[in-house]
Amino acid sequence: MKGGPALSIAANNGAGARDSHLRVVSEAPAHTSGIRLSGVSKTYRSRDGDVPSLRPLDFQINDGEFFVVVGPSGCGKSTLLKMISGLLPPSTGEILVDGEKVTKPHGNAGIVFQNALLLPWRTVLSNVMLPIDMKRLPRAEYLPRAKKLLEMVGLAGFENKLPWQLSGGMQQRASICRALVHDPKIMMMDEPFGALDAMTRERMNYELRRIQRETGKTILLITHSIPEAVFLADRVLVMTERPGSIAAIYDVPLGHDRSLDVMTSPAFADLVQRIRKHFFTQGALD
Ligand SMILES: Nc1ncnc2c1ncn2[C@@H]1O[C@H](COP(=O)(O)OP(=O)(O)O)[C@@H](O)[C@H]1O
Ligand SMILES: [Mg+2]
């Protein structure tokens, strides 16, 4: 299912993949799918001394899973994403993606940062095509896919506009297309909606959840918004304050296909409240 220009709607996920970690003991590590962290920590060395940012972490993200990391500012969320994407080496431990150790940026991930970071002199379509040009993949083959992605996020008709002619939300949607255009297996997003107004952000949450269901991508998304984490995730990893460690990992019992209405459900409120308690245990701020 890899490689073709057609949008792969049928997914690489499914119950089988989701159960795979249960069978891991009897399988060779090379066949382990998903993302696996073992004892991964980070201490930044600086002139003023060491800055411990992450304590050793152990967890796994399954194939086709929407996995969200939530935690307070400065707890090491971006550090974690940079290490998983191969942009930054861990101080200890190792990261495996589909059984292979991550030592450099890998080609099978698309990354979305907090700001859209579109090139101002390139049109929307040619911004989306940037990874294809950089990877020297055949343009003609991927152009229809780029257009289809833009259509999927509601940007049909804007292909030839320049970034400044789009709203912030539209630019961010274009940057999501850019992260998907080469059909990466994994999408990593670092607070992708932080700069958006509340209403656009909700729309983007809804659309991203839908895109993930349609494409079956594995998504790792980082946020400091607890409601956003609960709405989007199949599982939420809650981090402690810096140096970050795992406070808890929750399954989100809201079903696969979600409308924004789930945010008014008791199950949603209940989980938001449980996660919030990790940060306001004294009760002083809540
Ligand atoms: N290059 C760096 N050198 C030294 N300290 C850093 C560096 N990058 C991040 N840090 C520190 O590591 C901690 C975690 O940073 P970061 O991963 O950006 O947190 P978050 O994304 O959760 O806000 C912070 O305290 C930050 O000051
Ligand atoms: Mg950050």
Over the stretch 49-102, which tens digit does the pLDDT of each residue have? 999 999 999 999 999 999 999 999 899 999 999 999 999 999 999 999 999 999
Does 163 score more than 90 pLDDT?
yes
What is the pLDDT, as a whole number, of residue 142? 96
Closest-CA residue, ligand 1 atom 3, reads 44
CB neighbours of residue 212 within 10 Å: 22
User: What average pLDDT is seen over the chain?
Assistant: 87
In the numeric block, the tokens 């993606």 are attached to: 97
Does 236 score more than 70 pLDDT?
yes
Instruction: Phi first, then psi: give them for residue 61, nearest 5 degrees.
Output: -110, 125
Residue range 22-34: mean pLDDT, rounded: 55
The CATH number of the domain covering residues in 6-108+185-282: 3.40.50.300
Does 43 score more than 50 pLDDT?
yes
Does 152 score more than 60 pLDDT?
yes
Ligand 1: nearest atom to the Cα of 190: 21
Pocket of ligand 1 (CB under 6 A): 44, 46, 51, 53, 71, 73-79, 242
Cβ contacts of residue 201 below 8 Å, gap of 6+? Answer: 193, 228
15-24 pLDDT tens trace: 444 444 444 4
pTM: 0.84
Give the C-alpha separation, 229 to 216, whole Å: 18
Give residue 192 CA to ligand 2 midpoint distance, Å.
10
Give residue 73 CA to ligand 1 midpoint distance, Å.
9
Give residue 4 CA to ligand 2 midpoint distance, Å.
34
Give residue 80 CA to ligand 1 midpoint distance, Å.
10
Nearest ligand, CA 69: 1
